[in-house]
Structure 1
Amino acid sequence: MRIVDTILDKRDGRELSAAVINELIASYTAGEIPDYQMAAFLMAVYFRGMTAAETAALTLAMAKSGATVDLGAVPGVKVDKHSTGGVADTTTLVLAPLVAAAGVPVAKMSGRGLGFTGGTIDKLEAIPGFRTALSSEEFLANLGRIGVAITGQTADIAPADGKLYALRDVTATIESIPLIASSVMSKKIAAGADKILLDVKTGSGAFMKTPEQAFKLAETMVGIGTLVGRETMAVISTMHEPLGLAVGNSLEVAEAIDILSGAGGAPELREICLTLGAHMLVMAGKAADFAAGYRKLQELLDGKEALAKFAALVAAQGGNPDVVANRALLPLAAIRHIVASPAGGFVQSVDAARIGYAAMILGAGREYKGQQIDLGAGLVMHCRLGDKLALGQPLATLYTADPTKIPSAEAAISAAITIGPDKAARPELILGTVTAAGINMV
């Protein structure tokens, strides 16, 4: 294969065979194809797209570019969950112990945050002592013993995706649905789950800004899963404001504990966890239908079984399970500042991306890979879409170790929240689902 011929074929809209795609990915992973040629190929894909068969072939080639995880020794149907990300998306911290408490093994490989999207690994590391770098033996042992394990994704899982993503980031080829879909699904397939549930976000705090884009991405990923023999389902959910109230690592852990213990937290965060979890139970054969799965999970929350499973997860990975009862054990930045409403009226819109950016300014997020973050920094929102506010009422509380960051973060919060005289309608949280059978609108 000559790489220049492959670039030419894709540039001119010709379909590539699986053999050509396999060789392309293997050669690039081995360092035999220079970045400038792969960048040209990515740009050709950006403009010409890929067929379903090409996208599936690309996904499998990336999944097989490194190690794969074998979960066969763990009994039961393993269902993996992936979210396309957003602001205050704390679902894994609630969902993993909740579903595990229902008897479905949850094996999660998660990442760190970059930009305004939070990373599950960063959040868990806010728990004193929590270890996110598990050996394969520890990961499988914990999964078999308590039914849940969460670890950082290693460099040998789908390494082709790591190389391609870094190149897409600097060549303006991020926003390509075949490339996004193959990136997500290659890691899910390599991680070894039997079935895959996707939470595809749309809105101001999501990568897919419109429902049309979100449904198209979901259809592509479900199609890949179907073609490679993994049952895959997608839930389309909105992110027109932060999903939870807390934005920042230790703050999000505290909110997850609130929801698991029934002590509070954003109702939307609880609802999305129950919805995703109910679908996972159906996929794993632990519930006859969605309604039965939803009821089961409500019972596990109300009975504190999910909270106990969270404490077991923390203890199994070296963390201090006392955080469940004592939030003061979590780090919290020393400087606190309240942002007050500049006017009375109703919250008409919230730019979730700006809220996430404010948290990043305060020290909770990264502007570049490898940057040190403050696990105790962030913010807590005190208003939601449609809320009525009085002049001077708190919009958010900011937490930081650096007082010089407060003015910029406060400006971002003020710019993110629009207040007006008319009450705004809250958007539906769940827009629909996508399965191999097609789209189901709510």
Structure 2
Amino acid sequence: MNMPDLIRRKRDGETLRPPEIEWMIREYTGGAIPDYQMAAFLMAVYFRGLNREETAALTRAMVASGEEMDWSAIPGVKVDKHSTGGVADTTTLVLAPLVAAAGVPVVKMSGRGLGHTGGTIDKLEAIPGFRVHLSREEMVRQVKEIGLAITAQTGNLVPADGKLYALRDVTATVESIPLIASSVMSKKIAAGADAIVLDVKVGSGAFMPDLASARELARTMVDLGREMGRRTVAVITNMDEPLGMMVGNALEVKEALAVLRGGGPKELREVCLTLGARMLLLAGAAGSEGEARRRLEDLLDGGEALAKFRQFIAAQGGNPEVADRPELLPATREQITITSPAGGYISSVRARLIGEAAMLLGAGRAIKESVIDPAVGIELKKRYGDYVNASEPLAVFHVNDRTNLETARKKFLAAYTLAPEPPSPRPLVYEVID
């Protein structure tokens, strides 16, 4: 086997055999295949695609490139949840303690944010003292004790994906459904969950801009999961506007706490209930979706989910008083109100621009080496379909550094389109693929 031949064949639309793909990934991860050859192959895939067998072979080869987690020492069905990325998407901080409170063990490896989307690990690090690095032994012990543990991904988990994603990012080959699907599912398979719930975002703040592409990605990932022996379900949800009303790490922790207390934005609560119900069903902890939802609603409204989050914070070295006193989270020196330049109904919201505005304030990373400020971010005051008067507040910017303030303000305001008539309602959850 040689790389130029594989590049040529994929360029010409031919199908590669699984042993050829396995050889390519093994040699590239080991440094025998240079970036320029792999970049040519990725571009060929971008234009020619991969069939189901090729995508499965690529995913298996990526899983085999590094460590595979084994959680068999933890009793019960371990269910993982993955989001394809969005703005104000705080579901993991709600779902993990909520599902654990329902008796389903949650052992999760999460990542950091890059660009306009936030990362679960960055949000958890906003909690004073919270440890995001746990050993495998610590994870097992903690899940056995309290039913929940979340740790940062290790470099030994799917190293092939780390190399490939970095290359895709600089060669304009990110937006390829088989490459996205294999990237996501290789990490989920290697992370060791028995079952996986996928939250596939669609809209202006997501990687998938339209329903057709989101549906294709969801079906591809569900097929991959099942082919590799994992119970897998995908839920396609709306990301045309931010899911919650807070964008930024400490701000999103505060909003998650509000939902765990039985309040918070109804949109965030609804998506959490939808995803959580599917997690319970996959774990065999409920007989129907209706039963699962009612159980989760009771845990939110009764305080058990918040109690589990408090227990989780303490177990990983954080200050558990944060659960009852959100004011202990990092706060900015000043808050600046951003008002609407005109009146009208909010007829569209470009979520990506809001995420990018928050990144300019210091809430996210433009590059992996960027340092984030956990306190800064954007507190939204209006949603899609709301009426706003001229000079009425659209948001409050939480700011420590004014360097990029005006650029962030202009980008934020550009996210909104106003109209004289109210827009048509849009679904929050489009469909479930199982």
Shift of 1:7: 1.2
Distance 1:108 1:332 in 2: 28
TM-score, normalising length: structure 2: 0.99
Report the equivalent of 2:400: 401
**How far does the alpha carbon of each residue in 1:382-438 deviate from its partner, in whole angstroms, 9 at most, with x for none?**
000111122221100001111232211211121111122111123100110112xxx
Secondary structure class of the residue paired with 2:367: coil
Secondary structure class of the residue paired with 1:384: coil
Distance 1:128 1:426 in 2: 40
Report the equivalent of 2:183: 183
Moved more, 409-418 or 316-325: 409-418
Report the equivalent of 1:91: 91
Shift of 1:333: 1.4
Secondary structure class of the residue paired with 1:232: strand
Shift of 1:139: 1.3
Report the equivalent of 1:438: none
Moved more, 292-301 or 10-19: 10-19
Secondary structure class of the residue paired with 1:404: coil
Report the equivalent of 1:82: 82
Letter in 2 for 1:386: G
Shift of 1:91: 0.4
Moved more, 401-410 or 325-334: 401-410
Report the equivalent of 1:133: 133
Please say if residues 83 and 201 of structure 1, whose CA atoms lie closer than 8 Å, have aligned partners that are also in contact: yes
Letter in 2 for 1:20: E
Report the equivalent of 2:373: 374
Secondary structure class of the residue paired with 2:206: coil
Mapping of residues 161-176 of structure 1, within 5 Å: 161-176=161-176
Mapping of residues 118-129 of structure 1, within 5 Å: 118-129=118-129
Structural RMSD (CA): 0.9
Distance 1:338 1:412 in 2: 15
Letter in 2 for 1:412: K
Runs of at least 4 residues off by over 6 Å:
none
- Aligned pair 1:28/2:21, yes or no? no
Report the equivalent of 1:260: 260
Distance 2:19 2:349 in 1: 47
**How far does the alpha carbon of each residue in 1:307-361 deviate from its partner, in whole angstroms, 9 at most, with x for none?**
0010111101000010011111100111210001222221111110111011011
Question: How many residues align structurally?
Answer: 434
Distance 2:402 2:429 in 1: 38
TM-score, normalising length: structure 1: 0.97
Shift of 1:282: 0.5
Distance 1:220 1:242 in 2: 25
Letter in 1 for 2:152: G
Structure 1 residues without counterparts, runs of 5 or longer: 436-442
Distance 1:29 1:403 in 2: 42
Distance 1:392 1:35 in 2: 52
Shift of 1:48: 1.0
Distance 2:214 2:53 in 1: 20
Report the equivalent of 1:415: 414
Please say if residues 335 and 403 of structure 1, whose CA atoms lie closer than 8 Å, have aligned partners that are also in contact: no
Report the equivalent of 1:39: 39
Secondary structure class of the residue paired with 2:403: helix
Distance 2:157 2:175 in 1: 23
Report the equivalent of 1:296: 295
Report the equivalent of 1:439: none
Shift of 1:227: 1.5
Structure 2 residues without counterparts, runs of 5 or longer: none
Moved more, 164-173 or 337-346: 337-346
Please say if residues 247 and 380 of structure 1, whose CA atoms lie closer than 8 Å, have aligned partners that are also in contact: yes
Report the equivalent of 1:160: 160
Letter in 2 for 1:366: R
Report the equivalent of 2:284: 285
